[in-house]
Structure 1
Amino acid sequence: GGGAGGGGGGRQLPDNFLLAVEQAQQHFETNPLYWLLHESIYCDANAKDPAARGPSGWAAEKVQASLGDEWQYASNLEAGAPPVQLTGEMVYSWMAEDFAWLRSLKPAAEILAAKSDWGPLYDPAVLGGGKTGEGGEGLNASPTPGSNAGPTSGPPVAALVSYEDVYVERAFSEATAKLLGGRARLWVTNEFQHSGLRDDPTVFERLLAMSKGEVAIPS
């Protein structure tokens, strides 16, 4: 791919970077349900925050607009300006215009974005009790060392939590793990990012061993 530089001595993004961005954007067309459902799947009638109960209302788009000049790409490209901000795992209403394969889904997307009568996303009591379904028998697992979280009945759970995850705040992951009670074993690390399972095959091996109590939780 091309390097920095260009006509008239100006600066230009490398061709290989632009190609990678273009290819990443194509996923919205090859996987349209991601765009259609990405925000609504988080709406929860039992959420403590009223805003999380719905409607989703193109939440990412609203937050971005509220940040004002921070998201003015044209001005941020000037010399000495703040770095250009990018978003990840976010969807926007304008994508229905930019991506041809999404256009037919726009009416459905607007209905979902306006829907306010969502039900409970999950039952915290079931998660904490470790029930696996009607008639299911749970397994017992030792609690995470140092954890005073609730019950330990149910299938053991092991998870990697990136200390500075680019998509999910660490505090959110830890709060979710508490819903599972003491049976949740967390590996909090800055060695891997959100894509850790794909980046290194030993990550899954470690998590599986943690869930079986065969290895100590990495520190």
Structure 2
Amino acid sequence: MSHNYRQPGVVLTDHHFTVPLDHAAPAGETIELYAREVVAGAKAHQDLPWLVYLQGGPGFGANRFIGRQSWLDRALDEYRVLLLDQRGTGRSTPVNRQTLPLRGGPSEQADHLTRFRADSIVRDCESIRPRLTGGAPWTVLGQSFGGFCAVSYLSLAPEGLATAVITGGLPALDAHADDVYRAAYPRIERKVTAHYARYPQDVERARRIADHLLTHDVVLPGGYRLTVEAFQSFGLMLGASDGSHRLHYLLEDAFVRTPQGTELSDAFLEQARSLLSYADHPLYALLHEPCYGQDARPTAWAAERIRGEFPQFDAAKALAGDAPVLFTGETIHPWMFDADPALRPLRDTADLLAAHTDWQPLYDPDRLAANEVPVAAAVYHDDMYVDTAHSLDTARAIRGLRTWITDEFEHDGLRAGAPRVLDRLLALARDEA
């Protein structure tokens, strides 16, 4: 059943869809998908083209906007927008430590999770598209991992697309996870170096916090173990437009004097908990490296293994000398499944996914080379999360794709630069810019 309601300037409709868990077995088990339709209030009864938004991640539900916020304001000028909670996220059938045991043990859970990658998300979109558009193709807007899904869409079902718009999400078509992270660590180091150049006082602050964590057992509210590796993972923030500033403010008042001596403050620990916990997006941790699985090679905890090739990220070695402690970025590590109570029950499942050797291709280079769908993509120069060189290789491989290469924005340009970013990309796709 669909429910209509209003927010300032918009009319919203809740949609619930039943789709196959495995699209290769459509008569088998089903799951539920949730999506929120948004249309400008003045155009609620007009016959408008559809735009489906694919959120970044994996593992995050679609944005919960209020009214015409961010890029949505531009989209609503001409589209009826569908904010899809991709399978396993948001209000769709949830996948987490509480629900996965319903599948059985770790082996059954890992097998279940292999059906939650970009190819299944594309098939979900194709399942629900005719129910909303009457069969007409729609426009897809893919941010980050949503862009990976959009490239899979162009590979698997281009007939369903009128236009594809991608922001910070052109994936390498054939790179193994090792290649992805081998390219990532130098980018991460550049972002950390830039942060310390902006806030040189943070060098000593980070060293002091890291030293404290190496010599104390710190447990956050809720049970998360704050290790020095977990502290380094705060560098994930540096891929966003305001991330360096937020990291600075986090570090500047980390300690407080107590009768027992100097300790990490409750305020710092609470902020750390909210930054580190995967309780509301466990699929991000479980499926991040499987996003890069496309053949018989296991991902095998690639980010952890490849980090060993970059010893400058070893905090203990940095503290033994006078080097700055380097933060890390968008990387998933086995220790996270020991430190985080939301992931701890899923450690064996994660190990099985890391050892999986039957990944199917997510992209079709031949079909992309013959592409006829108008496509435009924003490529952010030195994007911390998605390698620029990989993105440009893929842009050249997709026939007709037009790129906007910019250093004005970080990975979150769609949010930080909206509605200008979406407006420019639509113009590029239409050959109007």
CA shift for structure 1 position 6: 5.9
1: distance between equivalents of 2:391 and 2:265?
A: 36
Q: For residues 153-203 of structure 1, what are the alpha-carbon distances to aligned partners after superposition, in whole Å with 9 as ceiling and x for unaligned?
A: x1111111111111222110001112212x111111111111111111111
Say if 2:370 is the partner of 1:120: no
Mapping of residues 62-77 of structure 1, within 5 Å: 62-68=305-311, 70-77=312-319
Aligned to 1:193: 410
With CA pairs under 8 Å and 6+ residues apart, which has the higher RCO, 1 or 2? 2
2:369 counterpart letter in structure 1: G
Structure 2 SS opposite 1:106: helix
Please say if residues 378 and 425 of structure 2, whose CA atoms lie closer than 8 Å, have aligned partners that are also in contact.
yes
For the structure 1 residues 5 and 203, does the alpha-carbon distance in structure 2 shift closer, same or farther, using more than 3 Å as the test? same
Q: For residues 47-89 of structure 1, what are the alpha-carbon distances to aligned partners after superposition, in whole Å with 9 as ceiling and x for unaligned?
A: xxxxxx5200000000112323x122134246x7222222222
User: Please, what is the CA RMSD of the aligned residues?
Assistant: 2.8
2: distance between equivalents of 1:166 and 1:125?
A: 29
Aligned to 1:165: 383
Structure 2 SS opposite 1:66: coil
Selected match of 1:23 from 274, 278, 288: 274
2: distance between equivalents of 1:208 and 1:178?
A: 19
Aligned to 1:99: 340
2: distance between equivalents of 1:165 and 1:112?
A: 27
Say if 2:328 is the partner of 1:57: no
CA shift for structure 1 position 22: 3.3
1:159 counterpart letter in structure 2: A
Query: Percent identity at matched positions?
Result: 39
CA shift for structure 1 position 20: 4.5
Structure 2 SS opposite 1:187: strand
1:166 counterpart letter in structure 2: M
Aligned to 1:33: 283
Give ranges in structure 1 of 5+ residues lacking alignment: 46-52, 131-153
Normalized against structure 2, the TM-score is what? 0.38
Structure 2 SS opposite 1:160: strand
Mapping of residues 1-16 of structure 1, within 5 Å: 3=253
Please say if residues 256 and 265 of structure 2, whose CA atoms lie closer than 8 Å, have aligned partners that are also in contact.
no
For the structure 1 residues 16 and 214, does the alpha-carbon distance in structure 2 shift closer, same or farther, using more than 3 Å as the test? farther
Please say if residues 256 and 264 of structure 2, whose CA atoms lie closer than 8 Å, have aligned partners that are also in contact.
no
Aligned to 2:429: 211
For the structure 1 residues 107 and 12, does the alpha-carbon distance in structure 2 shift closer, same or farther, using more than 3 Å as the test? closer
Give ranges in structure 2 of 5+ residues lacking alignment: 1-248
2: distance between equivalents of 1:5 and 1:29?
A: 26
Please say if residues 163 and 189 of structure 1, whose CA atoms lie closer than 8 Å, have aligned partners that are also in contact.
yes
2:344 counterpart letter in structure 1: R
Structure 1 SS opposite 2:316: helix
CA shift for structure 1 position 13: 8.8
For the structure 1 residues 84 and 189, does the alpha-carbon distance in structure 2 shift closer, same or farther, using more than 3 Å as the test? same
For the structure 1 residues 60 and 4, does the alpha-carbon distance in structure 2 shift closer, same or farther, using more than 3 Å as the test? closer
